[in-house]
Amino acid sequence: MENQMDCIFCQIVSGKIPSDVIYQDEEVIAFRDINPQCPVHILVIPREHFTSLIDITSHEASLMGHMISLANQLARDEAISDSGYRLVINCGKQGGQLVPHLHLHLLGGRQLSGQLG
């Protein structure tokens, strides 16, 4: 398990690794994915290190709401809100999580496949 000192997202939060930051406040930071899977692929992460969604308790419910609200605003800013977009949070290795720091993907700008519901 990666510790916070080795966490690439913690290093982005601290400014040690540059990224294309498009939003930040005291709780979260949003930046463009360096390996985009869609024309719009933005990551929204908490500044505080949570390894995955499983670490979130009822105390962090407002943080999760803030992350989703921000993703919705970014979808409007990126002009994909009317055509549609996807929000994804992968949890754990078998859930497809590659970086062990909680993050939300905002994906859009083209027709997405793999409908879930």
84 within domain boundaries: yes
In a domain, 76, yes or no: yes
Question: What's the number of domains the chain is made of?
Answer: 1
Angle at Cα 75 formed by Cα 21 and Cα 26, nearest 5°? 40
Does residue 97 lie in a domain region? yes
Q: What is the mean pLDDT of the chain?
A: 93
For 36, residues 6+ apart whose C-beta sits below 8 A from its C-beta are none
Any catalytic annotation for residue 103? Answer: yes
Domain assignment of residue 2, yes or no: no
| Predicted model pTM | 0.93
Tell me the residue range of the domain where 43 lies.
8-108
Which pLDDT belongs to residue 115? 63
Residue 117 forms part of a structural domain: no
Q: Shortest CA distance to 70 belongs to which of 53, 87, 84?
A: 87
**pLDDT score of 3:** 58
115 within some domain: no
> Higher confidence at residue 69 or residue 113?
69
Q: Which of 49, 101, 103, 105 is catalytic?
A: 103
pLDDT of residue 4: 73
Rounded distance, CA 18 to CA 1, Å?
A: 23
Let me know if residue 90 belongs to a domain. yes
| Whole-number pLDDT of residue 113 | 87
Q: What is the CATH number of the domain that holds 93?
A: 3.30.428.10
In-domain check, residue 100: yes
